Structure 1
Amino acid sequence: MQTGRRLPVTFVRGRGCLVYDDAGNEYLDLVAGIAVNLLGHAHPEVAAAVAQQAKTLIHTSNLYFSQPQVELARRLVELSFPSRVFFCNSGAEANETAIKLARKWGARNRDGAFQIITTLGSFHGRTLATVTAGGQPKYSDPFKPLPDGFMHVPYNDLDAIRAATSARTVAVMLEPVMGEIGIVPAKPGYIAGVRKWCDEKGMLLMLDEVQTGLGRTGRWFAFQHHGVTPDVMTLAKGLGGGVPIAACLASPKADVFEPGDHGSTFGGNPLACAAALAVLHVIDRDGLVGHAAEMGEVLHGAIHGLGVKEVRGIGLMQAMEFAEPRAKAFQQACLDARLVVNAVDDHSIRFVPPLIVTAQQIDQAQHTMQEVLK
């Protein structure tokens, strides 16, 4: 089905931050499968973990325990906050899990409250509930009538959240950095203010860290920049380093699921969990969280040097905005020059490279973009 417009290139292999097309041309990749390939392409330790697990046990279903799943859940909790973990296959599924948790929690603890406050411009997935939760009518309007229970307010506006809160509100669901719309970080004090408001009103704070989590912003999780802890957090994208896996973490307060409430046939299968364990091990061992913070500053400076209208971002999650609607033409020109970047709309370019990107590669990308802009 033609659900999107693909760029005119076919990639056939990759290594690190480089990918190669079917004609043998080499490209520098600053998109990483849309913030997925945290360790770049074909990382040897991830490949080895997947190969070994494939020879051992690929799938059993969640009727039984598996060692890789238990180990991965334990490691995610160690890195984040006291919680229990539900594994699934995509960010949309993880956010669906969060929405279901909030609804059951509201029925139990807030007199049947079910509305979730989200933000305009946000993106939480493509299922019917998550596309409604996201604040982008261009994605949700074709599928009306939409599910009830979501209120959209401007991002970075705490007063708007306060004004939208009612007795029917059960949770606030936010991205610590809005990603799909073109990298819009939370302003200082915003996330902490929302946390305080949720505590005052007896509501859940749910953070969508599908794109921000696992080192991309220069901390293991973006919420750690703000000195708060969410009640629910969702992860996906980079967790498996390219192998589909996602997770929803719920604190003891929010963990209201009982047997039969939710499920996933493939969620947390041994193969995907083995890949994720390898990804987390390499990030930790190689100091890639700190490296992402350092390279984020280098990337920010490199983009800023291009003389565009605006540069924004945190860590290796950066964007630049043109004054004129030239982003898509720029994306194609960069591709022609063997550089992979992402135009999220007519004005904005997103950069979410692998965490292993080097300063030399960023310098190379800056030079290519300078030539394209001449």
Structure 2
Amino acid sequence: MSHLFPTYSRWEVEPDIAEGCFIIGKDGKRYLDFTSGIGVCNLGHRPKAVQEAVNSQLNRFWHVSNLFVQGEQEAAAKRLADGANMDLVFFANSGAEANEAAIKLARKATGRKKIITFENSFHGRTFATMSATGQEKIKAGFGPMLETFTYLPLNDIEAVKQAIDSETAAVMLEVVQGEGGIHIGEQEFLNEVGQLCKKNGALYIIDEIQTGVGRTGKPFAFQHFQLTPDIVTTAKGLGSGLPIGAVIGRKEQAHFFGPGSHGSTFGGNPLAIAAANATMEIIFEKEFLKVVEKNSEYLYEQMSKKLGSLPAITEIRQLGMMIGLETSADVPLLVKELRMDGLLTLSAGHNVLRLLPPLTVKETEIDEAVEILQSVLISYSNAAV
């Protein structure tokens, strides 16, 4: 009997060791990991530079509280602010905490309560972020949600025009909906949302929990669309596996998050900060991101060539190293069969197979993954005939 609450449908794999793009199970089986810990291990498993940075911090101090000035924390905040071309950072422990803080900041800064979010979005599982999420299955059984959220279809600008008003504190969205099925915002829609926010005195919050820190081939996904958000949240890829999240904002918001207004005991923990600094030092380099873009293009080319014409595939959606394969196959069964063949993948949204390979993935590893995908999907296509 397990003494863990059964909140996860666990796989049959128990990892023994992981390095780079691979996990070795306790049974000795090797798995090509195209989940990256659900978009967390952007540099692959146990990147040397990050491990060295954490080991160094372990020998100095582990925790002192945020009452102390910490130079490494300041350095991490500067890297994040510079990467997003913004000003100020608050460190949390997770994406949900970062989004919770962003919601609080938007409400306090505007003096308003209404927040517009989008159908198929995912913003977390705390009460406020669950309320912000546009998926009913996330909320089932928890009673009434917070009543200050309005949910609209993504890419429907007319719906936003109808909903936004002088009572709107913020519009909050993911430029790529990760958990919702790799649905990508359209350029014109994203631009107009920003214009409507400015016109109505609302803040533009972009949730980059999954898309941030190089996942799409840029420091942040909103930079593909030349957007100017008021608040950005990020988490997953920031610490290469150590728990950390962050809210990135503008200097004009400093007054609203003054002493005593918000806090976190473990937010910006020295070990997580060490990991974040080492991670960003690598990922925010232009040459590194150029390689990510190149390999993303190669991955799309190979998938289009070898998977695109298969009857089981209805659409391939991708931005950088975020890939959604919409399929007529049974996705949970497909994920299991791919895993049995040595490829780790995820499900997302409705009938979508989600791939989140490490940003460090090589062409040979892409070839191996596409070959496994092709083999399993062909068997589905043949079975459907």
TM norm structure 1: 0.96
| Aligned partner letter, 1:81 | N
Percent identity between the aligned chains? 40
State the match for 2:274 in structure 1: 274
Which has the larger displacement, 339-348 or 255-264?
339-348
Q: Distance in 1 between matches of 2:259 and 2:177?
A: 33
Give the C-alpha shift of residue 301 in structure 1.
2.4
Query: Does 2:20 align with 1:21?
Result: no
Contact 1:26 1:338 in 2 (8 A): yes
- How far does the alpha carbon of each residue in 1:292-313 deviate from its partner, in whole angstroms, 9 at most, with x for none? 2222222222333212111001
C-alpha separation in 2, matches of 1:254 and 1:359: 44
Q: Provide the residue aligned with 1:101 in structure 2.
A: 105
Shift, 1:176, TM fit: 0.9
State the partner residue of 2:290.
290
- 3-state DSSP of counterpart to 1:142: coil
What pairs with 1:180-195 in structure 2 (closer than 5 Å)? 180-195=179-194
TM-fit CA distance, 1:346: 5.9
Give the alignment's Cα RMSD to 1 decimal: 1.3
The one-letter code of the counterpart of 1:323 is S
Contact 1:102/1:254 (8 A) holds in 2:
no
**What's 2:383 paired with?**
none
Name the CA distance, whole Å, in 2 between partners of 1:357 and 1:98: 32
8 Å Cα contact 1:123-1:136 kept in structure 2 = yes
For residues 161 and 86 of structure 1, the distance between their equivalents in structure 2, rounded to whole angstroms, comes to 29
Matched residues in 2 for 1:252 and 1:71: separation? Answer: 17
What per-residue deviation string (whole Å, max 9, x for no partner) do you get for residues 81-108 of structure 1? 232110010000000000000110122x
CA deviations 1:118-160 (Å, max 9, x no partner) are 0011000000000110101111132112112110000111111
Per the alignment, residue 317 of structure 1 pairs with 322
The residue correspondences of 1:56-71 to structure 2 (distance < 5 A) are: 56-71=60-75
Cα deviation, residue 345, structure 1: 5.1
Q: CA, structure 1 residues 187+285, in 2 after alignment: closer, same or farther (shift >3 Å)? A: closer
Contact 1:231/1:254 (CA < 8 Å) preserved in 2? Answer: no
Aligned-partner Cα distance in 2 for 1:248–1:83? 11
Equivalence for 2:263: 263
Structure 2 partner of 1:355? 359
1:227: how far off? 1.3
Unaligned runs of 5+ in 2: 380-385
Contact 1:116 1:172 in 2 (8 A): yes
Task: Give 1:253 deviation, angstroms.
Answer: 3.1
C-alpha distance in structure 2 between counterparts of 1:103 and 1:358, whole Å? 44
Q: Which residue of 2 aligns with 1:110?
A: none
Whether the 8 Å contact between 1:232 and 1:254 is mirrored in structure 2 is: no
Q: Which residue of 2 aligns with 1:366?
A: 370
Q: Find the aligned partners of 2:118 and 2:77 in 1 and give their Cα distance.
A: 29
Whole-angstrom CA distance in 2 between matches of 1:286 and 1:117: 34
TM-score, with length taken from structure 2: 0.93
Task: Return the letter of the residue paired with 1:364.
Answer: E
Q: Secondary structure at the match of 1:52?
A: helix
- Name 1:33's counterpart in structure 2: 37
Correspondences of 1:294-313 after superposition (within 5 Å): 294-304=294-304, 305-306=306-307, 307=310, 308-313=313-318
Q: Secondary structure at the match of 1:191?
A: helix
Look up the SS of the partner of 1:61 in the other structure.
coil
- The residue type paired with residue 321 of structure 2 is L
Please list, as runs of the form range in 1=range in 2, the aligned pairs for 1:1-374 lying within 5 A after superposition. 1-107=5-111, 113-255=112-254, 256-285=256-285, 287-304=287-304, 305-306=306-307, 307=310, 308-324=313-329, 326-344=330-348, 347-373=351-377, 374=379
Partner Cα distance (1:367, 1:141) in 2? 38
Cα distance in 2 for partners of 1:141, 1:339 equals 31
Paired with 1:82 and 1:167, the residues of 2 have a C-alpha distance of 25
Q: Distance in 2 between matches of 1:13 and 1:156?
A: 42
Structure 1 residue 182: Cα displacement: 1.4
